[in-house]
Amino acid sequence: MENWLVIGSGGREYSIAQCLAKKDNRSVYVAPGNPMMERMDNVHCVQINEMDFNALTLFSQSHHVVCTIVGPEQPLSKGIVDVFKKSGLKIFGPDQYTAQLESSKVFAKDMMQKASIPTADYQEFYDTNSALAYVDSHNLPLVIKANGLAGGKGVIIVNTKSQATNAINHLFSLPNQQSIIIEEYLDGEEFSFIVMANGEKFIPMPLAQDHKRLMNNDEGPNTGGMGAYSPLPQFGNEVTQNAINKVIKPLLSTMVNEGHPFVGFLYAGLIMTKQGIKVIEFNVRMGDPETQVILPQLKSDLGDLIINLLDGKKIHVKWDASKYYLGTVLAAKGYPKKPSDHLELPKFPDGTNIIYSGVQDDNGLIYSHGGRVLMVTTKSNNILNAQHQINELILKSVNQNNYLYRSDIGLKAIK
């Protein structure tokens, strides 16, 4: 039996475990996982916190884990890869230095400047007064970002001075935020491009588009993501190739020159502007909810691809190019500020593809726990059909008093 370890507990990790577990002779352990993962064949949850590096290392050694995949950003930013490598364990993710591409916006900007990668102009600020003075002297809108990790909620677009003041005060009040950056606002259509990388070798994944805003028509506050779809019919192969040439290759080459080759999932948050592709941000792990609509397209075995990439072997990858994959997130009422807890889970018809994230076990019964509870996904020859299928399922199966969701996932492709 081939043992793998996935670190994390959300929908992204659910999808990774599900994908790995397709191979019959493989056991997939998830630490800490969530109760619904236990119901998947060949998947087992391990009650070890994702930040307990010593316990995770010992588990990997004692269970002869062939490779570990790190899902969330926090363990990566704190150096889990360095710890595993010192113990001689195979792990797919960037070291702590390279993980700054996500954990420090300023570090990412510096690397982009070295690599001549197009991105928004910016300035860093260490106090409220200087940040407000900068806002006073520049045209709005502007984009204000926490420099450090903020759980996907550290980016605020401001259109008025009062919004800017509130955003600056809010971001400085977040834990571990010594500085913020203020960027020029880029106008265009955003999309996500993820590659699996080892140094300058990489495997491109299909483009995807996340829906960050809480409500339809991209209104309301930013969230961790309310749904996604992939691939993107509005962007042809030339867009992917352009992103590879202008963003992926230059960054990977720069990290090699820095003495820290990138290993793992490199996520480029991109925007198509009138001047061409520009980078909004980098993440050093797969996106959530993009993972949930990208991995189902993979026809090759995920584990074999990762091992071959790490070992420098030839790689042959196959994707399903015949369908569109679309998923809608169900979030607990009150999300993102104060989500309700311990809600009864919706009961969907058999055969519905559900990816669980924010759930808890209470004496054998599963309830919601946290903001984003689950994601309903489907595939179709047509994005509008996929959207309609999911909306119909949700209307029939979900208590609208308990859950929030968007009914327009895929709107930019449909328009």
Single out the residue of 253, 293, 285 nearest to residue 269, CA to CA: 285
What is the pLDDT at residue 15? 98
**The three-state (H, E, C) secondary structure of 304-351, written as one string:** HHHHHHHCCCCCCCCECCCCEEEEEEEEECCCCCCCCCCCECCCCCCC
Single out the residue of 280, 270, 372, 382 nearest to residue 322, CA to CA: 382
Query: pLDDT tens for residues 141-151?
Result: 999 999 888 77
On whether residue 401 sits in a domain, the answer given is yes
On whether residue 292 sits in a domain, the answer given is yes
Q: What is the mean pLDDT of residues 81-105?
A: 97
The first and second tokens of residue 177, run together, are: 């935020």
Q: What is the spatial distance between Cα 169 and Cα 66, in angstroms, rounded to a whole number?
A: 46
Q: Are residues 282 and 336 in the same domain?
A: no
List b or e across 94-113, with b for residues whose CB sees 16 or more CB atoms inside 10 angstroms: bbbebbbbbbbbebbbebbe
Q: What is the mean pLDDT of residues 271-291?
A: 97
Q: How buried is residue 315: exposed, middle or buried, by Cβ count under 10 Å (0-12/13-18/19+)?
A: middle
On whether residue 110 sits in a domain, the answer given is no
Q: By mean pLDDT, which of 73-77, 117-121, 177-181 is the weakest? A: 177-181
Domain residue limits at 225: 189-310
On whether residue 51 sits in a domain, the answer given is yes
Share of the chain above pLDDT 70, in %: 99
**In which band, very low, low, confident or very high, does the pLDDT at 133 lie, cut at 50, 70 and 90?**
very high
Query: Above 90 in pLDDT, residue 108?
Result: yes
Query: Above 80 in pLDDT, residue 165?
Result: yes
What is the pLDDT at residue 176? 78
**In which band, very low, low, confident or very high, does the pLDDT at 401 lie, cut at 50, 70 and 90?**
very high
Query: pLDDT tens for residues 35-56?
Result: 999 999 999 999 999 999 999 9
On whether residue 317 sits in a domain, the answer given is no
What is the pLDDT at residue 268? 98
- Residue 214, classed as helix, strand or coil, is strand
Q: Are residues 200 and 162 in the same domain?
A: no
CATH at 330: 3.90.600.10
- Greater confidence (326 vs 152) lies with 326
Q: Are residues 302 and 397 in the same domain?
A: no
Q: Are residues 235 and 263 in the same domain?
A: yes
The first and second tokens of residue 97, run together, are: 């230095």
CATH at 198: 3.30.470.20
Q: Are residues 127 and 38 in the same domain?
A: no
On whether residue 374 sits in a domain, the answer given is yes
What is the pLDDT at residue 148? 81
The model carries a pTM of 0.94
Q: Are residues 206 and 305 in the same domain?
A: yes
Q: Which of 184, 211, 227 is the last residue of a domain?
A: 184
What is the pLDDT at residue 154? 83
Q: Which of 95, 112, 134 is the last residue of a domain?
A: 95
On whether residue 318 sits in a domain, the answer given is no
User: Cα–Cα distances in Å, from 235 out to 187, 311, 322, 410, 413?
Assistant: 17, 33, 16, 13, 9
Q: Are residues 245 and 155 in the same domain?
A: no
Query: Above 90 in pLDDT, residue 412?
Result: yes
* Average pLDDT over the chain, rounded to an integer: 96
Q: Which of 144, 161, 184 is the last residue of a domain?
A: 184
Q: Are residues 207 and 289 in the same domain?
A: yes
On whether residue 115 sits in a domain, the answer given is no
CATH at 19: 3.40.50.20
CATH at 173: 3.30.1490.20
Q: Are residues 377 and 354 in the same domain?
A: yes
Q: Are residues 133 and 148 in the same domain?
A: yes
**In which band, very low, low, confident or very high, does the pLDDT at 396 lie, cut at 50, 70 and 90?**
very high
Bridge pairing between strands 365-368 and 189-198 = unpaired
Domain count, the chain: 4
What is the pLDDT at residue 150? 75
Q: Are residues 333 and 295 in the same domain?
A: no
Q: Are residues 171 and 201 in the same domain?
A: no
Query: Above 80 in pLDDT, residue 91?
Result: yes
